[in-house]
Amino acid sequence: MIKAARDMTSPHNFRNLGYVRVCAATPELTIGDAAANAEAILAQADALADQGVSLAVFPELCLTGYSAEDLFFSQVLLEQTRRALIQLQRSRLPMMAVGAPWQLTDGRMVNCAVMIGDGRVLGMVPKSFLPNYSEYYEQRWFVSGTGMNETEVDPDLGTFHVRVDQLFELGDCCVGAEICEDLWAPISPGTHAALAGANIVCNLSASNELISKADYRRDLVRMTSASNFSGYVYVSASALESTKDVVFGGHCLIAEAGQILAENHRFDFAAQTLVADIDLQRLSHDRAQNSTFAQTLRPRPYRRVRVDRAMPALEVLQRRYVKQPFVPADEEEFAARAQEILLIQSTGLARRMLAAKTERLVIGLSGGLDSTLAFLVAKDALAKLSLPANHLNALTLPGPGTTQGTLTNAHRLAQTAGVSLQEININASVAQHLADLEHDGAHDVVFENAQARERTQILFNYANKVGGIVVGTGDLSELALGWATFNADQMANYNVNASVPKTLMAYLVRWYAQHRAKPELAEVLIDVLATPISPELIPPQDGEISQRTEEVVGPYELHDFFLYHWLRFGASPTKIFLLACASFADDHEPAVIQHWLAQFFRRFMTQQFKRTTLPPGPKVGSVSLSPRGDWRMPDEAGFSQLVEEVESLLNPPSKP
């Protein structure tokens, strides 16, 4: 769970950051007893209201039991259901959805999602697709709600509509509903609801359990939420339904734009509540960014029903955000991801070689992390084109800041990989260049950049000499922070690391050492991983690296976290700060996070000019900074408001 930063003087309301708390709930069921079921549902609903839940969804036909069969024809049960709905209008929840049969004035029976809020029935959404195959025979009792538009006037329930095309608004939460089989249809009512404006779709279901059906159901919910850029609350009938021919498991799922936020354990007889917080701001950002969703033909306008009730504040967020969002936590998933990333990188580089009609690659090998990964990718690209390893021309270019440790790493890498390495010392050329500039010898930006540009000049000219292309090594995190010298390590013919963040870089090299490298190469890779991250542009002290990147720009684990939430979800500085405080509670104090977050925005917003002229490179994940595809912004954009927001987080304005 995420709490407001402990240094803040007042609790923070996560509702203001776009979160809404939802619940998928299965009540204790008595088949055919709507009064008892309403009492159980109402007790659950009131308990959920105390937990800050704004929307609770209960199963299909939960007021009577889905398996009531011909009891649906009983006027006694139908009147009990009506009285049960009257009882549920007392719920303290801002909004709830319950499943119930409803008989229209013309005698037709519909299977409905009854939406309740503001002490009234807001509307009923009838089921569109009635399964009538295998163990299902719903058309025996119900009619489809497709095209239905009925207005019901009830002395106790008020006036409401029975129709599929209606949405229910609660603050910034817009809810659409569908029922069980509707989700399995080629084009579901929930998809139409999402296109009409629903950012949360609830599904009241009674899906029985068969071998592997839960896996299919889970994938269906996840992918539906992904394609609709929506939240999705799915709840199925519990194990207390009749088991005459089938067994129900009470499967509950809550998804958000392709991610399962929460899932319960099935086959439990006790009532269950599955609670999660859906990020509506994230969904809005994704919908705005995805032109396919934006351009998809909308259905005719839906009827909208507004609930004039404030949603409860959320001082504690009931979801977790991983510290390293670019790195899968599951080892098997990461192994598959690592192989795919390396394939994308090496295939992109090999294709670029074909386009350039070259069989040679040139790389600057520093012995550090980034150039090591690029080196491994270059080897794979040559193998993909059936070219020998010695077609990789590796150059190591020691200068004033180079340590013996990284120089040794570079030589060992080349030797163990069967690649020839040429060492070209740049001390003399840099000294001459600085003398030509009448430089005073200070270890300033001129001193540092002279080395970076001298190395780049040598690499490009050497590539001309051998008829090859220069392989870039800079990573996504460095590009975000502008931690690269313009027209030096910022430039290459093709940068294979362009969309690989620093936190992922280390995992990829470690995976390569463990799963693909021979023992001699693996040993070198482990030594590279143990080397402090540094551009090595300042002379070493006592032979050791004196310039450590993270001491200057900040911890990469924080910056990658900031970058992910800033670019992927369009999160505000306040939101990023609070999520980071929770995720890194054991590692960094809020004041430290605040400091580096302000630095992140300063660097990110002022360094776009370096990204505007980036060389091509393969996109490997959902976050990239390519100026040709993923991130376009003016070089001169203002940023003071971003930094001011960050700096105010732990220093609230004084009271008048």
169 lies in the same domain as 132: yes
**pLDDT on residue 517:** 94
Domain presence at residue 325? no
For the cut 60, the answer to whether the pLDDT of residue 466 exceeds it is yes
Task: Establish how many alpha carbons lie within 13 A of residue 64's alpha carbon, considering only the half-sphere containing its beta carbon.
Answer: 26
422 lies in the same domain as 288: no
pLDDT tens digits for range 185-206? 999 999 999 999 999 999 999 9
278 lies in the same domain as 407: no
Split at pLDDT 50, 70, 90, the class of 1 is low
pLDDT tens digits for range 85-103? 999 999 999 999 999 999 9
Domain presence at residue 424? yes
Split at pLDDT 50, 70, 90, the class of 135 is confident
Mean pLDDT score, 599-625:
96
Q: Please name the amino acid found at residue 631.
A: W
15 lies in the same domain as 49: yes
- Of 331 and 61, more confident: 61
- Tell how strand 361-364 and strand 392-396 pair up: parallel
For the cut 80, the answer to whether the pLDDT of residue 656 exceeds it is no
Task: Establish how many alpha carbons lie within 13 A of residue 76's alpha carbon, considering only the half-sphere containing its beta carbon.
Answer: 5
Q: What is the DSSP letter of 248?
A: B
62 lies in the same domain as 118: yes
Classify residue 473 by burial, with Cβ atoms within 10 Å: 0-12, 13-18, 19+: buried
Could you tell me the CATH number of the domain that includes residue 244?
A: 3.60.110.10
Contacts of 167 (CB under 8 A, 6+ apart): 174, 175, 176, 193, 196, 197, 198, 302, 303, 304, 305
Q: Which sequence positions are flagged as catalytic?
A: 60, 127, 180
How many other CB atoms are there within 10 angstroms of residue 345's CB atom?
Answer: 27
Q: Could you list the residue range(s) of the whole structural domain that residue 609 is in?
A: 331-647
pLDDT tens digits for range 176-187? 999 999 999 999
496 lies in the same domain as 361: yes
The secondary structure element, H or E, covering residue 39 is: helix 34-50
pLDDT tens digits for range 210-261? 999 999 999 999 999 999 999 999 999 999 999 888 999 999 999 999 999 9
Q: Which of 158-162, 172-176, 543-547, 628-632 has the lowest mean pLDDT?
A: 543-547
Mean pLDDT score, 313-318:
92
Examine the fold and report which residue of 293, 317, 341 is the final residue of a domain before the chain moves on. Answer: 317
Q: What is the percentage of the chain residues whose pLDDT exceeds 70?
A: 96
For the cut 90, the answer to whether the pLDDT of residue 576 exceeds it is yes
Classify residue 628 by burial, with Cβ atoms within 10 Å: 0-12, 13-18, 19+: exposed
**pLDDT on residue 60:** 98
251 lies in the same domain as 356: no
Could you tell me the CATH number of the domain that includes residue 364?
A: 3.40.50.620
Q: Which of 92-101, 349-358, 391-400, 544-553 has the lowest mean pLDDT?
A: 544-553
Closest CA to 284 of 197, 171, 193, 191: 197
How many other CB atoms are there within 10 angstroms of residue 421's CB atom?
Answer: 17
Split at pLDDT 50, 70, 90, the class of 652 is low
Domain presence at residue 656? no
DSSP string, 133-178: STT--GGGT----TT-EEEEEETTTEEEEEESSEEEEETTEEEEEE
Examine the fold and report which residue of 283, 317, 351 is the final residue of a domain before the chain moves on. Answer: 317
Specify the pTM. 0.91
305 lies in the same domain as 380: no
What distance in Å separates the CA atoms of residue 134 and residue 137, rounded to the nearest whole number? 8
Mean pLDDT score, 522-547:
79
For 61-73, b where at least 16 C-beta lie within 10 A, e where not — what string?
Answer: bbbbbbbbeebbe
**pLDDT on residue 541:** 76
The secondary structure element, H or E, covering residue 122 is: strand 120-126
118 lies in the same domain as 148: yes
What distance in Å separates the CA atoms of residue 116 and residue 486, rounded to the nearest whole number? 60
512 lies in the same domain as 576: yes
Q: Specify the number of domains making up the chain.
A: 2
Examine the fold and report which residue of 262, 284, 317 is the final residue of a domain before the chain moves on. Answer: 317
Closest CA to 99 of 22, 189, 26: 26
Domain presence at residue 323? no
Mean pLDDT score, 10-19:
83
Domain presence at residue 524? yes
pLDDT tens digits for range 267-289? 999 999 999 999 999 999 999 99
For the cut 80, the answer to whether the pLDDT of residue 2 exceeds it is no
Domain presence at residue 624? yes
271 lies in the same domain as 396: no
498 lies in the same domain as 549: yes
